[in-house]
Amino acid sequence: MSKLTLSMAQTMVSAALAKAADLGLKPLTVAVMDAGGHLVALARQDGSSIMRPQIASGKAFGALAMGTGTRWLNANAETRPHFVQALNGVAGGAIVPVAGGVLVKSAGGEVLGAIGVTGDSSDNDEICALAGIAAVGLVGDCG
């Protein structure tokens, strides 16, 4: 498999939101991007605040930009804030360096895209992102 399709992205969004419902989380927003950083699917639950689409996209973009999940970016924001600040400057402010952005990979390790989830705690966002990825039989890389 070498492509993340619209159907797959929609399934990922639905599965991530279903996981959130199972866990009783706050309203979420989910963004799925292909390997080129193009938005394939976005869903914002009722009650999700107005900046959530940008945050979810920033998490997915950050994972793609660095080739690892945004948990890695979060760790670097804590230990090397100057690096993450410079990185985000180069990216035009498009990177959100907190957990919840997960690379989507094939079983063979090929990066097919990324999913970004926001609205609850970063750990819960990441759990929902992983559920979305699992729903289409792919592998998630949290960083």
pLDDT in tens, 28-62: 999 999 999 999 999 999 999 999 999 999 999 99
In a domain, 77, yes or no: yes
In a domain, 27, yes or no: yes
In a domain, 1, yes or no: no
DSSP 31: E
Number of domains forming the structure of the chain: 1
Task: Please give the single-letter amino acid code of residue 94.
Answer: A
In a domain, 59, yes or no: yes
102 forms beta bridges with 115
CATH of the domain at 86: 3.30.450.150
pLDDT in tens, 48-107: 999 999 999 999 999 999 999 999 999 999 999 999 999 999 999 999 999 999 999 999
In a domain, 63, yes or no: yes
Q: What are the contacts of 44-53 at 24+ separation with CB within 8 A?
A: 45/17, 45/20, 45/119, 48/119, 49/119, 52/28, 52/118, 52/119, 53/29
Q: Domain range spanning residue 84?
A: 6-141
Model pLDDT, residue 1: 57
At residue 140, does pLDDT exceed 70? yes
Model pLDDT, residue 143: 87
Q: Minimal CA–CA distance to 57: which of 72, 75, 70, 74?
A: 70
